[in-house]
């Protein structure tokens, strides 16, 4: 119930800051004034469609309002963001900093991208292994 009151208080504060009554906001949203009153008092949750219309009408961030109205949606919105980015290995860092080695073997940017993706697997541990993989990649015959 506290979460709903938080939403209601937030909406009421914003509505009043814009100089809107419950009735005028309801007209803009296409709902009854009592529906706005129920949402502000925490007795009802706005539908997903109404969340979008409320956000647009009141000039609010849709995602922020969605999470206030439906806290369970937060897990869906942040599931990809909470996954930590994959980190490259120290061996990869040493390999890409060895400019003389890269120049000697004429390693292209595209080849570096491929090797970096492989490094994320964590299987290549030394510069020698990276070069061996590079040699294998370069020796793959082109399909006709």
pLDDT tens by residue, 27-83? 999 999 999 999 999 999 999 899 999 999 999 888 889 889 988 888 777 655 445
Nearest to 39 by CA among 54, 57, 58: 54
Nearest to 55 by CA among 98, 89, 106, 7: 7
pTM of the predicted model as reported, rounded to 2 decimal places: 0.53
Nearest to 102 by CA among 86, 89, 115: 115
Q: Does residue 34 or residue 120 have the better pLDDT?
A: 34
SS3 state at 61:
coil
Structure confidence at residue 82 (pLDDT) = 46
Is the distance from CB of 15 to CB of 25 less than 8 angstroms? yes
Nearest to 22 by CA among 6, 4, 34: 34
Name 70's Cβ contacts closer than 8 Å, sequence gap at least 6.
Answer: 45, 48, 51
Q: Residue 1: pLDDT band by 50, 70, 90 thresholds?
A: very low
Q: Residue 123: pLDDT band by 50, 70, 90 thresholds?
A: low
Structure tokens at 91: 């061996």
Of 1-5, 28-32, 63-67, 95-99, least confident by mean pLDDT is 1-5
The arithmetic mean of pLDDT across residues 107-133, rounded, is 81
Largest CA distance in the chain: 76
Structure confidence at residue 13 (pLDDT) = 93
Cβ atoms within 10 Å of 129's Cβ, excluding its own? 15
In this model, does residue 87 exceed pLDDT 50?
yes
């Amino acid at each position: 119930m506290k979460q709903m009151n938080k939403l209601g208080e937030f909406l009421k504060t914003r509505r009043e800051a814009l100089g809107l009554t419950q009735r005028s906001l309801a007209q803009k949203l296409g709902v009854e004034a009592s529906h706005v009153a129920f949402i502000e008092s925490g007795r009802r949750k706005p539908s997903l469609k109404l969340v979008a219309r409320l956000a647009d009408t009141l000039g609010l961030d849709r995602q922020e309002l969605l999470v206030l109205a439906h806290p369970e949606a937060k897990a869906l919105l942040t599931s990809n963001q909470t996954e930590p980015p994959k980190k490259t290995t120290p061996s990869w860092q040493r390999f890409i900093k060895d400019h003389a080695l890269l120049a000697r073997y004429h390693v292209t940017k595209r080849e570096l991208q491929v090797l970096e993706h492989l490094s994320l697997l964590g299987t290549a541990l030394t510069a020698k292994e990276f070069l061996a993989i590079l040699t294998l990649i370069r020796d793959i015959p082109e399909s006709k």
